[in-house]
């Protein structure tokens, strides 16, 4: 079955520390992959996306993600976290041929300590 998993429900890091948020998917082919950020009470903002090509993708706000086919993963990274990065992060997947727009992971809540 097609699925998206974000193993970490909540992550806490100190400001200035590096960050990695995990995302795994289950699918027989390569889907389209997205990372979104949601601030409290707000909609979703696209951070980055992967369709094909270079497996290391650069996004907005200093984020990047790496697609690893062998691990069926698309982990989000940032070398130095800022307090304003505290938010909920969602990995989303578009499975080819699916009638649905996007399948979302359960989300990871990021807390940034001063």
Partner 1 sequence: GAVVSQHPSRVICKSGTSVKIECRSLDFQATTMFWYRQFPKQSLMLMATSNEGSKATYEQGVEKDKFLINHASLTLSTLTVTSAHPEDSSFYICSARDPRGGTEAFFGQGTRLTVV
44 binds partner 1 (CB under 8 A): yes
Q: How far is CA 2 from CA 6, 21, 26, 48, 51, in A?
A: 14, 20, 5, 21, 17
106 binds partner 1 (CB under 8 A): yes
Binds partner 1 by CB under 8 A, chosen from 11, 13, 86, 102: 102
Spatial distance between the Cα atoms of 38 and 36, rounded to a whole number of angstroms = 7
The two structure tokens encoding residue 53: 């090509």
Applying CB under 8 A, among 11, 49, 62, 73 the residue interacting with partner 1 is: 49
The DSSP result for 67-112, as a single string, is: EEGGGTEEEEEESS--GGG-EEEEEEEE-TT-SSS-EE---EEEEE
Nearer to partner 1, 27 or 32 (CB): 32
By the 8 A CB rule, do 2 and 101 touch? no
Q: How many amino acids of this chain bind partner 1 (CB under 8 A)?
A: 22
**Could you say which of 35, 36, 50, 63 contacts partner 1 (CB under 8 A)?**
36
What string marks each residue from 56 to 95 as x (binds partner 1 by CB under 8 A) or -?
----------------------------------x---x-
Catalog residues that contact partner 1 under the rule CB under 8 A. Answer: 32, 34, 36, 41-46, 49, 51, 90, 94, 99-102, 104-107, 109
């Amino acid at each position: 079955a097609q699925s998206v998993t974000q193993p970490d429900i909540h992550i806490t890091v100190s400001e200035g520390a590096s960050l990695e948020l995990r995302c795994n998917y289950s699918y027989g082919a390569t889907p389209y992959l997205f990372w979104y950020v949601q601030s409290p009470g707000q909609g979703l903002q696209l951070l980055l996306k992967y369709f094909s090509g270079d497996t290391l993708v650069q996004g907005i706000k200093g984020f990047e993600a790496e697609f690893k086919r062998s691990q069926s993963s698309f982990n989000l990274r940032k070398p130095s976290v800022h307090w304003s990065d505290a938010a909920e992060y969602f990995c989303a997947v578009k499975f080819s041929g699916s009638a649905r727009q996007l399948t979302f992971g359960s989300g990871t809540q990021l807390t940034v300590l001063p």
